[in-house]
Structure 1
Amino acid sequence: MADPSTYRPAPGSIPDEPGVYKFRDATKRVIYVGKAKSLRSRLNSYFADLAGLHPRTRQMVTTAASVEWTVVSTEVEALQLEYNWIKEFDPRFNVRYRDDKSYPVLAVTVNEEFPRLHVYRGPRKKGVRYFGPYAHAWAIRETLDLLLRVFPARTCSTGVFRRHGQIGRPCLLGYIDKCSAPCVGRVSAEEHREIVGDFCDFLAGRTDAMVRRLEREMAEAAEQLEFEKAARLRDDIGALRRAMEKQAVVLGDGTDADVVAFAHDELEAAVQVFHVRGGRVRGQRGWVIDKVEEMDVPALVEQFLAQFYGEQVEQAEQTADAGSPVPREVLVPELPADAEALTEWLSGLRGSRVQLRVPQRGDKRALAETVQRNAEEAFAQHKLRRAGDLTARSAALAELQEQLGLDTAPLRIECVDISHIQGSDVVASLVVFEDGVPRKSEYRRFALREAAEEGDVASIAEVVRRRFHRYLKENTAAAADGQDGGAEGAESGEAVEPPAGTPGIDPETGRPRKFAYPPNLLVVDGAGPQATAAADVLAELGITDVAVVGLAKRLEEVWLPADPDPVILPRTSEALYLLQRVRDEAHRFAIRYHREKRSKRLQVSVLDGVPGLGQTRRSALIKHFGSVKKLKLAGVEEIAAVPGVGKRTAEAVFAALRGEDGKAGERKT
């Protein structure tokens, strides 16, 4: 594990200008690329206290061995250079929004003599037009089945096409008029290409013109008394309209836009994109990615748009696809910090003006809310997909038992994580998983005081000591309750209710005690020293039936107490995935508590120094009014009505808060 201070640039050597930077590992491989308005400010943030960094940022800076940068003139240049470097070096810590095989598209092989229509998954190829992506392959087949009646183009493979050409008979689709049968010469190559061209025009959005043309031909056929042709054209128009109905109109003004939405937590983010062309939803995409840094929605918007449209334009150039993949409008939930630069860059990719904005009202706002719900649903499904798979959970528990040499599968797993910023507001979380599923009712959090100044190892030891000391105390109480209940029942000759004396059950409430059940496996966030510290505490308390491991973030190594070498689980291992999920949940819960505690401390700080107001009374005031903001609106009598706060103290608080407002007013002016 590298120490970032060993390669930190000298103070003052980093320019305070926009630019792009690269982190390299010991083998000189680029592992991360980023951009910044101020290189000095951005790079210095990476060399802060490691404990305060985002987990994956911490993993990145401890994997890196050097950092370098390039100064640029404008933010648009920074966007372009960042994208080019990510494409060139493919850094392991950068997110890539690549299209993969999960989304099917409708492909048209316009590079062939007789173009073919078919469902396709995979990388884009030159000379092929693509429509979509669609959410499901069956949606493409349904649409294609309807449109083949109007546009009877070839859909068979090359082998089938040649075979029917050799035998001189068309396939079934040719007999039922869903293929023009170019294989047997019913139409020429030019005529077939014209059919395919009309099909592509229809899918590209020129639907109204196509319907009007068919209606005109139908009317002419009826006037010439060609009623069979008119009836066929009528049915064709009905088929086109049914195909159009499958692509619901969402924007009545024929808008061309991409609508983007995000759902995220501290560690991951889901993005959904609806592609609206001609007012209709023509395609949908979605990804779930790991967050390498602490990122809010504006930062996610910037990262996604820069990478996604860069990739799309490249694909369009490689396949010689007509039209730009960048729409006239991009609707996002929040604007990024450098929205103007991003808009200018997107406009350059499109070749005309692009609007980047947040929809405020009407149909576009309603559609944005729909896309947001899809993002949240996709994120929830991602979280639950593997966790909800009973087979995967069973395999994970069995693999943990085998890899860690446990007597039984760890049906109950607890994990401890520490959170703080440079040693202040040190807190810890303890999360519980049973049968591979979170048991949130048993999550616990700890405010650390004794070991806070001694580092994470001492903090881990304190949490484990407090947790298992409580466990031993609860078991002792349960045993005493059981003996008392048994004696009383024996004297009266009546049966005793088992729950009252059952270990782990509170006799007063009938509910499980807070720390009554020990885990089969205790996971601590860290490497060997943290795992050893936790094991030493358990040995000190005389607990021998709880296994302990540490999970290090850098390489996801599993450390056993006092073992010089880690256990390396395969990257695709269900056991490793379960340990990561337990660790990440503990980290999320710890960060949440840390932020709450820090926020309360900052709120209460304005009351420091008020005569007669100690910690207890400050807490009572905040609890009673809910926030300092509401406390400022209260009068002396209302403040004095709080239990324990007298009138003199209330007057002092009132005067202090009014003085604070006065200072704020002076600062604003």
Structure 2
Amino acid sequence: MEISAEALKKKLDGLPQKPGVYIMKDKSERIIYVGKAVRLRNRVRSYFKTAGHQHPKTEVLVSRIYDFDYIVTSTEVEALLLENNLIKEHKPKYNILLKDDKTYPYIKVSVDEPFPKFTVTRKREQDKARYYGPFAQASAMREVMRLIKHMFPLRQCEGEIKPGSAKRPCLNYQLGRCLAPCAGYVSQEDYRAIADQAMMLLEGRVDRLLKELGAQMRKASEDMLFEKAAILRDRIRSVELVGALQKIVMAPGDDADALGIARNLADTCVAVITVRDGRVIGKAHFFLEGAADATDGEALSAFVKQYYISSTMVPPVISLPAEPDDVSELEAGLSSSRGGKVRVTVPKRGIKRDIVGMAAENAEEMLRLRLAEEERSRARTEGAVQALADALSLPSPPYRIECFDISNIQGTDTVASMVVFEGGVPAKKEYRRFRIRTVEGADDFASMAEAVGRRFRKAAEDDPKFLKLPGLLLIDGGKGQLNAAVDAMRAHGYDLPAAGLAKQEEEIFLPARPDPIRLPKDSFALHLLQRVRDEAHRFAITYHKSIRGKKGIKSELTGLPGIGKARLAALMKEFGSLDELAKADRDSIRKVKGMDARSAGAVWSYLNEGKGGDV
């Protein structure tokens, strides 16, 4: 409900001159903007001043505000933290948002456990664990985890470790990949020391790590523990290789992040260059939503809050290409998160300025790659639709394509699928499926005619689920399936463009053309038809498996030659379900009590051969 002018004035007058967070809502009570303020009264009242003195984006926001709420905090830092949490939770339309920030993976180290474990997670819990990340590219995170597992023999098992609880260690111990704390083969102190070294690697402390490993290797040699010394030597070599890949750009011991920003009409990208112990140890990039009308300083402020405020890996220096208006508030919030002083700077010269420039170049490159990928995507979708219209001489580009496929096993439980692509991409809410009711046995032509006929009968009856008509009716099959589908469609008064795609040679059949069309293998039009056809096949198979899964082994195999009650009972006892039996190979089935090679072959062939819909 919209707040009246009188009630609004009263509410504005009642705002306190204290720090806090304000929450703007639209007429549906949805949160459309969250902001922080040093003095709530001054900041919130500024939104309702005379129009024409505000940024156009702010004017649009104000025109949609029907009510507001606020939360008083004790300090500006609390306001900053609360603002960040509310933005992440509600994703308000008019805030600048870090795209998909909750999906980026972290490496989690359970430092609160006696024997810490390194795992991957996409959710940061409010626990005592230590989190490294987020990693913008999952591939980079996987490579880091691979290095840790290769260099450090840390446990990979689940659950809590109780030393000596295992009678014997697992295979990882035999392979030298774990110290077997479960079997009591390593003390908590020694295990923790190795875990600390792995965390040094994650933090980019290569020089410190090499110094520590070198001291351990020399001591092991002096104590004539030559096997241990050799292991440490190999670990040192691995770390040195990692260090060689890290560019030295600052003095040893220096930690900093440098941010660069790049923009075009559609996107804003922020790149982060991570420097630890004077070395560039990584880079990442992120895209922002809702930043088109924001200044560079505003966009960077929003990014820094959402990326760093809740992080456990805040560096002491963050270098930016433009200065946000709220630098002092950012520094206070970041210092609180880090537990130490953090400076937000805009370097004008020197190496830090160069690193900011490097970050900007990376952001520009990511924008270029994103634009190129969008162009390729358009070629595969919208461009492919146009190419398909040209290749098949259709009256217009087929924005909506419907594809039908049939699936059965030796004529039983026959089903049909109808998948829909719109604009070259799947429209999964439009998918439909049919159980074939009138056809006995494996008759793909009759089954196709029934499914297509039911679809267009429902359209003729104004069924809302079937009112949208396709620009192209695609059939998974050759000339026979296509003719059956076209006849069924025309029987209900429709005459729409149709085509069949035969899988073996990827030939395209048209109703009025005797010979098939063969498109080049690199044709976007052909690739589109293949994606639609393959999706219809997948959907049909999935539906068919779900129906089969509802039937027990007994009902499915009763009557199969050589399979009597005793063998049915043995198969049910061994596999439990039809799906599990269908996954088994011939040899596994033959080993079941009472089965022989012939009966096992009959069961396997029945479950794995003769699937309808494959042309």
TM-score (norm 1): 0.48
Amino acid at match of 1:43: Y
Amino acid at match of 1:33: V
Q: Does the Cα contact within 8 Å between 2:267 and 2:292 map onto a contact in 1?
A: no
What SS is found at the alignment partner of 2:127? coil
Amino acid at match of 1:256: D
Alignment of 1:43 onto 2:44: no
Deviation, 1:372, is 0.8
Give 1:360's match in structure 2, choosing from 316, 338, 348: 348
Q: Where do 1:18-97 residues align within 5 Å? A: 21-35=22-36, 39=43, 42-44=46-48, 47-48=51-52, 53-54=56-57, 60-67=61-68, 79=80, 82-83=83-84, 86=87, 90-97=91-98
Give 1:339's match in structure 2, choosing from 327, 346, 350: 327
Amino acid at match of 1:288: F
Percent sequence identity over aligned pairs: 32
Amino acid at match of 2:96: V
Q: Does the Cα contact within 8 Å between 1:250 and 1:280 map onto a contact in 2?
A: yes
Distance 1:45 1:350 in 2: 38
* Range with greater deviation from structure 2 (234-243 or 273-282): 273-282
Deviation, 1:408, is 1.9
Deviation, 1:241, is 1.5
Alignment of 1:309 onto 2:308: yes
Q: Where do 1:157-172 residues align within 5 Å? A: 157=158, 168=168, 170-171=170-171
Partner of residue 234, structure 1: 233
Distance 1:390 1:266 in 2: 18
Amino acid at match of 1:118: T
Amino acid at match of 1:186: Y
Q: In structure 2, do the counterparts of structure 1 residues 140 and 53 end up closer, same or farther at CA, with 3 Å as the change threshold?
A: closer
Deviation, 1:377, is 2.2
Deviation, 1:257, is 1.5
Q: In structure 2, do the counterparts of structure 1 residues 122 and 351 end up closer, same or farther at CA, with 3 Å as the change threshold?
A: closer
Instruction: Please report the RMSD computed on the Cα atoms of aligned residues, expressed in angstroms.
Output: 4.8
Distance 1:179 1:126 in 2: 25
Distance 2:37 2:26 in 1: 21
Amino acid at match of 1:357: T
Partner of residue 215, structure 2: 216
Q: In structure 2, do the counterparts of structure 1 residues 41 and 80 end up closer, same or farther at CA, with 3 Å as the change threshold?
A: same
Q: In structure 2, do the counterparts of structure 1 residues 116 and 347 end up closer, same or farther at CA, with 3 Å as the change threshold?
A: closer
Deviation, 1:153, is 0.9
What SS is found at the alignment partner of 1:389? helix
What SS is found at the alignment partner of 1:388? helix
What SS is found at the alignment partner of 1:306? helix
1:96-125 CA distances to partner (integer Å, 9 max, x unpaired)? Answer: 437746543333233455433234444446
Q: In structure 2, do the counterparts of structure 1 residues 358 and 7 end up closer, same or farther at CA, with 3 Å as the change threshold?
A: farther
Partner of residue 623, structure 1: none
Q: Where do 1:179-190 residues align within 5 Å? A: 179-189=178-188
Deviation, 1:296, is 0.9
Matched residue count: 391
Q: Does the Cα contact within 8 Å between 1:21 and 1:68 map onto a contact in 2?
A: yes
Q: In structure 2, do the counterparts of structure 1 residues 345 and 378 end up closer, same or farther at CA, with 3 Å as the change threshold?
A: same
Partner of residue 461, structure 2: none
Distance 2:336 2:47 in 1: 29
Alignment of 1:378 onto 2:366: yes
Task: List gaps (5 residues or longer) in structure 2.
Answer: 400-422, 425-615
Distance 1:222 1:73 in 2: 58
Q: In structure 2, do the counterparts of structure 1 residues 176 and 42 end up closer, same or farther at CA, with 3 Å as the change threshold?
A: same
Deviation, 1:355, is 1.7
1:530-561 CA distances to partner (integer Å, 9 max, x unpaired)? Answer: xxxxxxxxxxxxxxxxxxxxxxxxxxxxxxxx
Distance 1:115 1:77 in 2: 31
Q: Does the Cα contact within 8 Å between 1:257 and 1:328 map onto a contact in 2?
A: yes
Distance 1:246 1:157 in 2: 33
Deviation, 1:88, is 7.0
Deviation, 1:263, is 1.6
Q: In structure 2, do the counterparts of structure 1 residues 295 and 4 end up closer, same or farther at CA, with 3 Å as the change threshold?
A: farther
Partner of residue 277, structure 2: 278
Distance 1:240 1:218 in 2: 14
Q: Does the Cα contact within 8 Å between 2:273 and 2:355 map onto a contact in 1?
A: no
Amino acid at match of 1:270: C
Q: Where do 1:571-586 residues align within 5 Å? A: none
Task: List gaps (5 residues or longer) in structure 1.
Answer: 317-324, 412-434, 437-669
Partner of residue 409, structure 1: 397
Q: In structure 2, do the counterparts of structure 1 residues 46 and 283 end up closer, same or farther at CA, with 3 Å as the change threshold?
A: farther
Partner of residue 293, structure 2: 294
Q: Does the Cα contact within 8 Å between 2:96 and 2:288 map onto a contact in 1?
A: yes
Partner of residue 526, structure 1: none
Q: Does the Cα contact within 8 Å between 1:221 and 1:230 map onto a contact in 2?
A: yes
Distance 2:86 2:217 in 1: 56
Distance 2:362 2:213 in 1: 37
Q: Does the Cα contact within 8 Å between 2:108 and 2:132 map onto a contact in 1?
A: yes
Q: Where do 1:103-252 residues align within 5 Å? A: 103-112=104-113, 114-124=115-125, 126-148=127-149, 150-157=151-158, 168=168, 170-171=170-171, 173-189=172-188, 191-223=190-222, 227-252=226-251
Distance 1:73 1:117 in 2: 37
What SS is found at the alignment partner of 2:348? coil
